[in-house]
Each structure stands twice: as C-alpha cells, then as structure tokens.
Chain A
Amino acid sequence: MVEQVPLHHALIATTLMFFIGVYGFLTRKNLITMLISIEIMLNAVNLNFVFFNIYLFPGTLEGHFFSLFIIAIAAAEAAVAIAIFISLYRNIRSIDVEDANTMKH
C-alpha cells in the first residue's frame, strides 16, 4: 500500500498544508484563527517526519517519536497561547491581533 504512493506526492501535500498555515497566519486577524494556522503548520511538519521515517528509514521509530513530542508540546503551547488570549481580552476587550500593538517603538 505504501509503495503505491510515491514520497514526493506526500511531500507536495504537506508543503501545501504548511503554506496554507503560513498564509492563514499572515492574513487572519483573529488570534484564535492564527493559532489554528500554527497548528496546521505543526501538523504538516509532523507528517513530514512520519513520511520520511517510513520511506527513508523503515524499521526505525525516531520520526514517529518526534511527531509525538511535537504533539505533546503543541498541546502545552496551545494552553499557554489561549491563556495569553484570555488575559489579553481582559485588558483590551479584543482578540484582534492588530489591536495588540502596544509593544512598539
């Protein structure tokens, strides 16, 4: 089953996914949507790890473990990010990224 899908197809899919995430991160103004975009980017990277592991180093598990680590850390990061959003909302009554502009020159 695995052999029927060539590696570069999988890579094209993950690259698309990653840049969809980048695009969303750069264009969306809502912080939660931006967080979702980050998750998309992270998952694209996760998939890359898994694919490379399967195609290039079959029989080893390092890539899988990396993905698991990233998932765990992404969960923690999401928790921190949402906590920041909540406190930001308490301060400026908004979660629009353009309103959080006090840290400038």
Chain B
Amino acid sequence: MDFSYTIWIAILPFLAFAINGLGSEKLPQKTSGWIATVAIGISAFLSYKTAIQYFSSPSRGGIIAFKTTWLRFNGTLHIDLGILLDPISVMMLVVITTVSLMVFVYSMGYMKNERGYDRYFSFLSLFSFSMLGLVVATNLFQMYMFWELVGISSYLLIGFYYDKPSAVAASKKAFIVTRFADLGFLIGILLVSSLTGTFDFGVLTRPEGLGFASAAPFLGLSTITWALLLIFMGGAGKSAMFPLHIWLPDAMEGPTPVSALIHAATMVVAGVFLVARLFPLYTAYAPGALEVVAFVGAFTTLFAAVIACTQYDIKRILAFSTISQIGYMILALGVSGHGGEAGLGYMASLFHLFTHAFFKALLFLGAGAIIHAVHTNDIREMGNLRKHQPITHVLFLIACLAISGIPPFAGFFSKDEVLSATAASHPVYFAIAMGAAALTAFYMFRLYFIVFWGEERAYPNAPKEAPFIMLGPMMVLAVGSAFAGFIPFGHFISSDGVPLATHIHWPVAITSMAMALVGTATAWRFYKSQSGSSEKAAKALGSFHTSAANKFYIDEAYIIITKGVIFKMVSKPLAWIDRNVIDTFMDLLAAITHWASRQVREFQSGQLQKYAFIFIAGVIIIVLSFIYAAR
C-alpha cells in the first residue's frame, strides 16, 4: 500500500504557518483563517484516508511511509526524519486533525475582530504541524525536536495577549517548567541511545537483545530504568503530572480555543503518547519505572480532582480536570502489562485519550462560548445560562455526562476500561481511580449547575447564543463525545498488535456508575439552588478545603524552593562571585591595557622628524649589532 501522501498531513499546516506568518501583511485579514482552516481540513481528510487504509489491512505492523537521513554520526547512529504509521500514531493523527479542524473553525468565530488574528492562525498552524510531526516520528530524536516545537508553539499561544502581564508570566512559567522536564527527557534519550546505538523506534520497540544488561547499575537502579524514568520526567512535564503540573492551570491565560486544542486534547497527552510509544521497553526492562508511572498517575488523578472541586475560574476547573484525566491515562499505562489481557491498561489508556480529546475539547469550546457571552471567567458571576444559551447548554451537558462516565456516552466506555485495568492491579489504585471518578462527576456537575442553573445574574449585556461558526464544531465534537465509546477500540489498538476483545466489565461498570451518580447527586444537592449547604460542607472540611482551594500550596512551595533555596543559596553567591571576582579580574586586565596604551601612545606624536630619528637610531643599532655579533 502506498502511504507516501501522508507527508502532506504534516506539511500542509506548516505551509499555512509560513504563508500566514510571512505574508500576513500582504493578505487581507480574513484570509489567514481560511488558509489555516483549509490546510488543516485537507490534513484531516488525508488522516481519515490513512486511518481507513491502515486499519482495513490485516497487519498492524509499523509502516515507514517516508524517511530521510538528516544527520549521520557514524555507520549505525544517525538521526532520521520520517513518518511512522502504526496503530497509535494513526489514531493520534485522526484525533489531532479532527480536534484541530474543529478548533480552527471555532476560532474563526471566537477570534473575530481580535487584534493579531493572522498571528493567531499562524501559531495555531505551527502547533498542528509540530504535533503531527511528533506523533509520526520514526525515532526518539525527531520526537524530541517536535516535542520542543509544540512547547514553543504552546508558549507563543499562551502569551498571545502579550500586553497582559499575567499571560506573559503564564507563558514563561509553562515554558520553563516543561523545559526543565525536557532536560530529563534529553538525558534519557542520550542514555538510551548510548546503550543501544540507535534512536529508531523500529529497533527500540522490539527490544529483544538490545544489550542493556551490560550497563552498570547506578544508585541501585539499572541504567535503563534511570533512562526510562528520565524520559517519563519529560512526559510528566508535558502532561502536567504532579509535581510538574503547576504550569497547566496558568496556561489558561491563552485564548480559550487554544486551551481546547493544546492544553486539553492534544499537546498535554504527548506524555501519555511517549510512554505508550516506548511501552515495550518499559515492560521488558524497567517494570520499576512503570510502577513509578502508575504511582504518579494515581496520585495526580486524585490530587487534581480534589483541587478542581474548589476552584471558581471556569477554565481552571477544566484545567485541573484535564490533569486528573491525564492522570487516569498515565495510571492505566502504569498498571498495564504487555500482550493479551494483561495489556488492557495500555488499550484503556489510549482509548481514554481518544474519547477525552472529544469531550474535553467540547468542554473548553463550550466554556469559550460562555466566556464569549458573559465576558468573565468566574463561575460565581454566571447563572441560569440555560435560558440564554440553550444550544451551548445541551452540548455542555453532553460533555459533562461523557466525562463523568455516565452511559452511553464515550467517557463511560473508556473509563470502564481504565477502571478494569486498575482493578486487576493494586486495590489502592482501584480505590483512587474510583474516588477520582466520583469527584469528576461532582466537580463537572458543580460547574454545570452553577453556570447553567442557579439564579439569574445582573449581566451588563444579556448573554447571547454563540454564532453558528462556533456551535457547528461543538456539535461535531458532541457527536464524538456521545458515540466515540462504541468504537471497538481494542480491535484497532492493543499493546502487542493482536486485537483485544473489549467488553463491559459489569461489576466495575456498575460501581463506577454508582460513583458518578453519587458525585452528580451531591453536586445537584449543593449547587442546584443556592441552599447554602455547599458552604456548610466547605466549613465542615475546614483547613482541608482551604488548602485545596489554594491548590495545596504547591505554587507557594515552588516559590519557596526557587526563591528561598535556589536563588538565595545558589544564585546569589554565584552572582556575587561573578560580579566581584570574575568581573574584577576582567576589569583589572582592561585597566592594565588602558594604562599601558596611555604610556606608549606618546610615541605617535605626529612629528615626522621624531619618527625619522627613531627609525635611523634603530637602523644604526641593528647595523652595529650585526657588525659586533659577526665578530
């Protein structure tokens, strides 16, 4: 089968980026949106074509659709750029192009009349290009390059409103935190490649006899465990896992469609994708690293869900919800084994990634439509919006039902797989996952009831329903959120390429449904009307509620560590040495040179005869020395 056209999936958004970025001043304002949208639309079409073509063939092997050697170090070690098609990359292509297309169309309505419209679309195209390049990477290094590219496009888009200090600070925070995590990723890549002599996924994911055993252990763990832990650190940074999650809530300073695309559906799941991509390595060589993955995922999913229950900024609630849901995916990967039924977690994780992309993008786009109408992010200033925005209300409700795991919406099926996978592992993980499921339902319906029910607020302007260009993409995503769960996902994607029969695990499903209903009912009781019972509950929880509302003081802890420890203990002395020791030495050198040149510059007096005298005296001295030396 010929897949050479897949190169255009990635190239078209890049062309849109180049045209919009370079030619925007010559083009009329409107066209930039259309150029970007048409480019991503064709990409989406090609992705569907690829998916149909790929999954209709019986084999599930990796296909190299395109490959070129970019840098050659020696006979075996070289960096390639190429396109690798295998079940997970094809699935990601479909997810990314679909959500991108919807967000691009939506943005044409949302960003209308906004300053920097063309800049916005060129950055958005750059992001799509980078994300597509990331998922089709044939080797670790190509993945790393595109990994950094998505980082920079995320930075550019968070700081889109660059005249707002909070947006600038948020973009810097996101960039620095993820960059710090990427340092671990890079070291991990170097360790893996120095052990194996290759970056290629084709070799790395078939890990029989890669010769890791010969490497010496370090601090009680084998080198490959260290390498995979460091790679996971990169993934954890991008996917906002505890304790590197601090950038994601602040990243909500960007335009809302950006949050939907980058900080909910695609970029933040790159960490999940990374672990899934290297999954054979994890299971074969570093089960210890996989335990860390599971632990981090489990902790984050509960941690973020608790915080989400106490926030009042609509986008921050969704951001913490994203962190929590990605925690689910990471947890499912961490408890998974390789092959057959043991690989259920792997399938569940990617299934949840797939469905989450739809309903979380829909939630964000819905939040965008609400913010567009009421001009605030604070849910305490919203209420009774179902009267003003009936269509948004229905779409938002579908997404809430989907994320809460209520059948027959998509989230129910994927969450059921995740919960079944954790049920097979440690009971603590299962309990955490169940608790987080209840909390998910609670915080989503808390948001829903406060925003769409509650009492009418004194809006400065009556909120209007969003235009069709914004509602259309949301409807498409709502269809995905409602029905994506019926896709026999295990048939397409499994840890070992052998189709995995998926079925509902009824005991787990009924428990999770009960949990979701408990969460929903609690939210209904607390927030359906202003009964004051939520305040009572908050008071009963006391300091726990306060600390959750303050995000458990993680940001403050970071400030204490960076300002108090790193800046004061390390940077300040270093700055002192730099300013006083090194600078003094350099100043001294300059002063000596200056003084010496002052002394000798008198020689150049402009007096011709002085020069002539020195010249002749020199000649005489040389001649005399020749004469007497010859003797």
Interface residues of A (CB under 8 A from B): 22, 25-27, 97-98, 100-105
Interface residues of B (CB under 8 A from A): 601-602, 604-609, 612-613, 616
CA distance A27 to B609 in the complex (A): 8
Question: Sorted from nearest, which 5 A-B pairs have the closest CB atoms?
Answer: A104-B606, A101-B606, A105-B601, A105-B604, A103-B606
CB-based contact A104/B616 at 8 Å: no
Contacts of B604 in A (CB 8 A): 104-105
CB-based contact B608/A100 at 8 Å: yes
* B599 CB to nearest A CB, Å: 12
CB-based contact B608/A22 at 8 Å: no
CB-based contact A25/B606 at 8 Å: no
CB-based contact A26/B601 at 8 Å: no
CB-based contact B605/A101 at 8 Å: yes
Partner pick for A98 among B601, B602, B607, B616, CB 8 A cutoff: B607
Beyond A104-B604, A105-B601, A105-B606, list 14 extra A-B contacts (CB 8 Å).
A22-B616, A25-B612, A26-B609, A26-B612, A26-B613, A27-B609, A97-B607, A97-B609, A100-B606, A101-B606, A101-B607, A104-B605, A104-B607, A105-B605
How would you classify the secondary structure of chain B's contact residues: helix, strand, loop or mixed?
helix
| Known A22-B616, A26-B613; contact A97-B608, beta-carbon cutoff 8 A | yes
Q: Which residue of B lies closest to A100 (CB)?
A: B608
Contacts of B602 in A (CB 8 A): 105
CA distance A82 to B515 in the complex (A): 109
CA distance A22 to B612 in the complex (A): 9
CA distance A100 to B605 in the complex (A): 11
CA distance A101 to B613 in the complex (A): 16
Contacts of B609 in A (CB 8 A): 25-27, 97
Partner pick for B616 among A26, A97, A101, A103, CB 8 A cutoff: A26
* B619 CB to nearest A CB, Å: 10
CA distance A22 to B601 in the complex (A): 26
CA distance A26 to B607 in the complex (A): 11
Contacts of A98 in B (CB 8 A): 607
Q: Which residue of B lies closest to A98 (CB)?
A: B607
* B608 CB to nearest A CB, Å: 5
Contacts of A103 in B (CB 8 A): 606
Q: Which residue of B lies closest to A97 (CB)?
A: B608
CA distance A35 to B127 in the complex (A): 78
CA distance A26 to B604 in the complex (A): 17
CA distance A72 to B102 in the complex (A): 91
CA distance A22 to B617 in the complex (A): 11
CA distance A98 to B609 in the complex (A): 8
CA distance A27 to B613 in the complex (A): 10
* A92 CB to nearest B CB, Å: 13
Partner pick for B606 among A22, A26, A27, A102, CB 8 A cutoff: A102
Contacts of A25 in B (CB 8 A): 609, 612
CA distance A94 to B556 in the complex (A): 80
CA distance A99 to B612 in the complex (A): 16
Contacts of A101 in B (CB 8 A): 605-607
Contacts of A100 in B (CB 8 A): 606, 608
Q: Which residue of A lies closest to B613 (CB)?
A: A26
Q: Which residue of B lies closest to A28 (CB)?
A: B609
* B593 CB to nearest A CB, Å: 15
CA distance A105 to B601 in the complex (A): 6
Task: Give 28 CB contacts A-B under 8 Å.
Answer: A22-B616, A25-B609, A25-B612, A26-B609, A26-B612, A26-B613, A26-B616, A27-B609, A97-B607, A97-B608, A97-B609, A98-B607, A100-B606, A100-B608, A101-B605, A101-B606, A101-B607, A102-B606, A103-B606, A104-B604, A104-B605, A104-B606, A104-B607, A105-B601, A105-B602, A105-B604, A105-B605, A105-B606
Contacts of B607 in A (CB 8 A): 97-98, 101, 104
Contacts of B601 in A (CB 8 A): 105
Contacts of A102 in B (CB 8 A): 606
Contacts of A104 in B (CB 8 A): 604-607
Q: Which residue of A lies closest to B609 (CB)?
A: A26
* B605 CB to nearest A CB, Å: 5
CA distance A103 to B613 in the complex (A): 17
Q: Which residue of A lies closest to B620 (CB)?
A: A22
CA distance A98 to B606 in the complex (A): 8
Contacts of A22 in B (CB 8 A): 616
CA distance A101 to B611 in the complex (A): 12
Contacts of B605 in A (CB 8 A): 101, 104-105
CA distance A27 to B601 in the complex (A): 23
CA distance A26 to B609 in the complex (A): 5
Quick one: which of B602, B609, B613 has the most chain A CB within 10 A? B609
* B435 CB to nearest A CB, Å: 83
Contacts of A97 in B (CB 8 A): 607-609
* A32 CB to nearest B CB, Å: 14
CA distance A104 to B608 in the complex (A): 10
Contacts of B606 in A (CB 8 A): 100-105
Contacts of B616 in A (CB 8 A): 22, 26
CA distance A100 to B606 in the complex (A): 8
CA distance A103 to B604 in the complex (A): 8
Q: Which residue of B lies closest to A19 (CB)?
A: B616
CA distance A105 to B606 in the complex (A): 8
Q: Which residue of B lies closest to A25 (CB)?
A: B612
CA distance A25 to B609 in the complex (A): 7
Contacts of A27 in B (CB 8 A): 609
CA distance A105 to B613 in the complex (A): 18
CA distance A20 to B124 in the complex (A): 87
CA distance A103 to B608 in the complex (A): 10
CA distance A101 to B607 in the complex (A): 6
Q: Which residue of B lies closest to A22 (CB)?
A: B616
Contacts of B612 in A (CB 8 A): 25-26
CA distance A97 to B611 in the complex (A): 12
Q: Which residue of B lies closest to A102 (CB)?
A: B606
Q: Which residue of B lies closest to A104 (CB)?
A: B606
CA distance A23 to B562 in the complex (A): 77
CA distance A26 to B602 in the complex (A): 19
* A77 CB to nearest B CB, Å: 16
Quick one: which of A22, A27, A97, A104 has the most chain B CB within 10 A? A104
